[in-house]
Structure 1
Amino acid sequence: MEKATKHQTAEKTYTWKLTTFEKRGTLWIEWSTNAPFRAQKDKIEVYEKGWPSNPDSNAKKWTWADAKNSPWDTGLLYGADWYCARIAQSAPDGPYVYVEQIITKG
């Protein structure tokens, strides 16, 4: 069997950021990335009672993770124990998975 030779590799790392904060008494979420593309069908989701096993279910509030929507006023009263996440489909067109996750503190 012939061995492959002259391997070449290119690698690039991107940063994805998710931030929660209180403004005028409500929960706001801000997100950003330095990637020149979106994650596949990514959404920002807020859950009330923990992380569901299916990230695309039981959200109290959600929005598409388009940069033009950030920051987003969820309209929910700010407080402890909001479970906030960016979710995206695993490729190709697979189920949703968690990308970043935050639990708010009061």
Structure 2
Amino acid sequence: MWSIFLLITPILALGTIEPPPPVSEYVNRNTIEERWLNVSLNQFDASNTETFPMRYYYNNEFATSDHIVIYVGGEWSISQGWVTAGLAYELARTIRAGLFYTEHRYYGQTRPTR
């Protein structure tokens, strides 16, 4: 019984989202930015205040609302291709959101060690 409810609820929620305008109506093109954010080195120890820079990409091509989509990187170096196409990109377009793609520590250029 609960499984049917859990499957139907997201489908019903989709009916309240307006369809996105065609891509040609967006004026912000080539809006991908590489950014860095200082994050906690050890989030399990509040007394440790050390930080390291974490790399991420931000695409504000569709950012006309307060919504955001965060695509969390895995065991690879992040690339701009994933903020210009794919599921997260389409979701950001549908809900008119900014798209963030974070790089996992120890992969790519995000190194918590000096």
**Bigger helix fraction:** 2
Q: Same fold (TM over 0.5)?
A: no
TM-score, structure 1 as length reference: 0.24
Give the structure with the higher percent strand: 1
